Structure 1
Amino acid sequence: MNIFITGAAGFIGGSIATGLAQRGHQVTGLVRSAEQAEELKALGIVPVIGTLEDSALLTEQARAADGVINAASSDHRGAVEALIEGLKGSNKPFLHTSGSSIVGDASGGKGGGHIYYEGQLPEATPDKAARVAIDDLVIASAKEGVRSAVNCNTLIYGHSLGVKRDSVQLPRLLKQARKSGVVRHVGPGENVWSNVFIEDVVELYALALEKNPAGTFYFAESGEASFVDMTNAMAEALGLGKSQDWPLADAEAEWGYEMANYGLGSNSRVRGKNARELLGWAPKRTSVIEWIRNDMV
């Protein structure tokens, strides 16, 4: 297939683009700079320079492709609308990348947390309402002849398959630990996140391109862990003392409101059946703790 991917120089998009190229697909990737374009060329990916603001370009690329993956932003409505416009009536696959912070509870590192299932999502918090509305827009495009899906990723671990980029959550903890000599988590770190290995994520996208029933929502998850267990594993790997609690205000000063409250300070516990039952997805790695101890650093 000829696949158009936004965010092809990022961690998720770059890994997907590289993985699909390795599987024999022709991949065109949206990047922002000539330097990123050269990185993609080296991986066998055809670069297109532009931004998510270039609606006409996005629509044109979507129309020309056999399938489209949006991995650049979960929050850019205009880009999603432009991609859908190029796909209407085609029955081509459109895979939109969301993230499971949409069910995050901003608990300040406290534990508990409800477990959410596909088709049984809570009402969105004010912080996440716009993202959920975009997810809904993607699902609704199935009624306009788009074979759409929302791939809602949980905490992704693993190293990039593409250009050398880090994932969102664990590398921030690692960077802070290396800078300070102390591994920290938000509050008591009892909060739990579902998680998934990057190469399993790539496999999910590859399967969805071929088999996705229109209008499907997927949680990409293959396990869960508390942040205190993940940070203690990181401390072991780095040869540092046990991980320490960090007040939310200090975490916000280091990582910003969104990352401290949702990415690192919330519970986000989900279970995904759709990828397994509809696509035959079978994740190969299921222990983020094992990966942190043995492979992260």
Structure 2
Amino acid sequence: MAKTVFITGITGYIGGSVAKLLSDKGYKIIGLVRNKDFIRPVEDLNFKAVLGDIQDEDLLRKICIEADIIIHTADSADDAFAADSFLRILDNSGKTFVFTSGSAIFGNKEKGEACDFCFTEDIPLVPRLEMVQRVYINNAVLNSAKNNVRSIVIVPTMVYGQGLGLKKESIQIPALVKFSKSKNAGIYIEKGENIWSNVHISDLAELFFLAIENAKAGSLFYVENGSSNIKNIANKISEKYHLNLAESIDINEAVAYFGQAGAHFGFASNSFCNADKARRELNWKPVYKDILEFI
């Protein structure tokens, strides 16, 4: 009998891609939809759409009772309230709970300076103040394994590629392209030597599938298959869109455009890690490895 998966963020880039892959693998999909205009498009993909809000704990409880597996991707990394709701609902249930975090937790506000320190899951994180809550949420999810929750935390890096679900575009690369077009040149911040690991959306979705199939309770997985500094990405954007030679902007201009979090932790920090644990424990075999070729 097919297992039922409840996915938040099903209209989003990661959630929609994971939903499509799991559906193709034979899972039944339930998606939480905030906007009624998305009910029909979600149902057209043969998913069950439930209209509601992630803050409605009673609704979440009802759906979780129906589901065997819960995957939380909807703006999840910094929402402690939603994470706490799921942990209380799933307490002592034995159900699988997959939580989607983000690799900005590795950032140290380097302002475009390079740092080639490579994080692995066994290295304790001492995050900057701005990322403390995100790391604390991750740890709370992992610790729920002690309360009979099969908890799994997945930490994607810079995700690229065409989405498999309703939302086709990622966040970071399209944002850089949009800003670069407005400046008529590929843009990087300060020196632009900061390094980001990256992963293609199809490979990321496959890792979600392998995790729900095979991961142990309390598992943490970093997700990457390659890396690039931001300056190289900016150069490739200039080349692809026939813009002027890539140019640097200072951190203040970046903050004015992207906001504090986007500038410092999205585009000016280092986010460099290793995903050998996923390759080893889940037999994950990513296919795509060149973000520059994709651009």
TM-score by length of 2: 0.96
Task: Map 1:1-297 onto structure 2 (within 5 A).
Answer: 1-72=3-74, 73-292=76-295
Q: Tell me, which stretches of 5 or more residues in structure 2 are unaligned?
A: none
| CA shift for structure 1 position 288 | 0.8
Determine the C-alpha separation between the residues in 2 that align with 1:88 and 1:192: 38
Amino acid at match of 1:228: K
**Cα contact 2:55–2:82 (8 A) shared by 1:** yes
Cα distance in 1 between the residues matched to 2:245 and 2:94: 52
Q: Distance in 2 between matches of 1:274 and 1:59?
A: 32
CA displacement, residues 93-145 of structure 1 (integer Å, 9 cap, x when unaligned): 11100001001111111112421111203212110011111100100010011
Deviations 1:236-263 (A, max 9, x none): 1111222110111111111111000001
| Distance across 1 between alignment mates of 2:215 and 2:94 | 11
Q: Is the 8 A contact 2:5 2:70 kept in 1?
A: yes
Moved more, 78-87 or 64-73: 78-87
Runs of 4+ in 1 over 6 A off after TM superposition: none
Q: What secondary structure is seen at the aligned counterpart in 1 of 2:286?
A: coil
> How far does residue 210 in structure 1 lie from its aligned partner after superposition?
1.0
The answer (yes or no) to whether the contact 2:181–2:243 under 8 Å persists in 1 is: no
1:41–1:47: 8 Å Cα contact kept in structure 2? yes
Per-residue deviation at 1:29? 0.7
CA distance, structure 1, for counterparts of residue 133 and residue 223 of structure 2: 21
Give how far 1:179 is off: 2.5
3-state SS of 2:126 partner: coil
> What SS is found at the alignment partner of 1:112?
coil
User: Are the counterparts in 2 of residues 59 and 84 from structure 1 also a CA contact under 8 Å?
Assistant: no
> Is the 8 Å Cα contact of residues 279 and 285 (structure 2) preserved in structure 1?
yes
C-alpha deviations, 1:22-66, integer Å up to 9, x for none?
222110111111112222112221111112211121122122201
Whole-angstrom CA distance in 1 between matches of 2:173 and 2:217: 33
- TM-score w.r.t. the length of structure 1 is 0.95
Alpha-carbon contact 2:118-2:273 (below 8 Å) kept: yes
The residue type equivalent to 1:252 in the other structure is V
| Aligned length, in residue pairs | 292
Q: Which amino acid aligns with 2:44?
A: A
2:273 alignment partner, SS class: strand
SS in 1 for 2:31: strand
Preserved CA contact (<8 Å) 1:93 1:212: no
Amino-acid identity (%)? 34
- Within 1, Cα distance between the matches of 2:46 and 2:202? 18
The AA in structure 1 aligned to 2:105 is I
Unmatched 5+ stretches in structure 1: 293-297
